[in-house]
Amino acid sequence: MSSLRYGIRCLRPRPSSTAKQWPSLISSTQSRDSAPRRALATTTPRRQDDSALTSALEAMESSSEGVITTFARPMPVSPAYFSRLPQFNDSFVHVQELARKYARLPTLHPSQVERVAWKTKEQYRITIGEHVKARDYATCIALVKRLNQIHPDLMPEEVKAGLRPFKRDINIYLNQPKPIPVDKFGRSHGVGKRKSSVARAWLVEGTGEVLINGKPMNEAFGRIHDRESALWGLKTTERLDKYNVWALVGGGGTTGQAEALAMAIAKALVVHEPPLKTPLRRAGCIARDPRTVERKKAGHIKARKSPAWVKR
């Protein structure tokens, strides 16, 4: 018995490390009253495996009352250690506690709160490496958002720290688009892409002259439909006779070039007249069309076409 006890003592880590990782050992060594342990047990009463563990521990303790002063094994710092999602459960409980504790602090209207980029479920799963359930995460993030509404002047440090694991590293809402200047000659520059074409367009206030790769419109685009789609942004906003366009287009075919040019011209137009951004977006000139040619796969004739089925 004494040799066993000695072995357990040898196994027992140093207090400095236990303070970090196995605090329950400290509780058993320093003060042997069961209050903290019970408190521990009450924090996670619903965890069955936890409760089983505690009961086992108690049984062991009661059997060897006064003989064994420490646990046979190091105790985990979190009672959620043996659950499937220890980190999430910890932070969830913490957030719940915070929410309960600071429920009465004044809050801002949601529209006035500074926008924060919260981690999505997938991002959170990747960062902590646990497969968090969608429903749990949703309830958790709802609490987090509620906490975030606390007036910034009264926001306790504790809350700030508690919300940190749910924030993305980079707040995308703080990103400012790089301003495109109108240069000293009054030109604005826009770049557009479509399929594999790239277009650069410079817009100057003028009378509606268009030069594409140094050629007039009719030589650059043989199809009238292409000409129309290239100048679609100017046409829908009725700015066709107010600007001169000088553009360079490359790559791809005529359709791609025309629609890349439409995007480039729209972007350059927005520099001159920012309020036009919404109508241009409605006209479909601002968004990059992401569709491109699908790559060919091995074992297929084209991207998806399979070779003809041959018997044997």
Partner 1 sequence: MASTNCWRCLARPSQRLLLAPVSVAAASAPTSATFSTSAQQLSSKASSDGSKHIRSGKRLVLGRKKRNPDRTKPPQPGERKAFRKRIQLSNDNALKVPGLDVLSSEGVVNPESVGKIFGLPVEVVDQLRACEAFKSSQNWSLFRSPHTLVRKETVDLAKQMTDAIEKKETLRLVLTGNRGSGKSILGLQALATGFLNKWVVINIPEGQELTTASTEYAPTPNSEMFSQPVYTVKLMQAIHQTNHQVLSQHKVQLDHMQLPISVTRNMTLAGLLNATKEPDFAWPVFQAFWKELLLPGRPPILFSLDGLAHIMRISEYRSPAFELIHSHDLSLVRMFTDALGGKTAFPNGAAILGVTAKGNAPMIPSMEKAIAQAAAAQKGEEPPSRDPFFRKYDERVFDTLRGVKVLDVRGVSKTEARALMEYWAASGILRSRIDERSVSEKWTMSGNGVVAEMERVVLHDLRET
Contact residues toward partner 1 (CB under 8 A) are: 207-210, 216-220, 224-225, 227-228, 231, 235, 238, 240-241
- Closest by CA position to 69, among listed 3, 16, 25: 25
Query: Which amino acid is it at 35?
Result: A
In whole angstroms, the minimum distance from the beta carbon of 214 to partner 1 comes to 12
∠ Cα 108 89 47 (to 5°): 130
Q: How many CB atoms lie within 10 A of CB 107?
A: 17
Nearer to partner 1 (CB atom), residue 98 or residue 199: 199
Query: Which amino acid is it at 113?
Result: V
Nearer to partner 1 (CB atom), residue 12 or residue 239: 239
Nearer to partner 1 (CB atom), residue 63 or residue 207: 207
- Closest by CA position to 266, among listed 253, 247, 252: 247
Nearer to partner 1 (CB atom), residue 77 or residue 240: 240
Nearer to partner 1 (CB atom), residue 122 or residue 219: 219
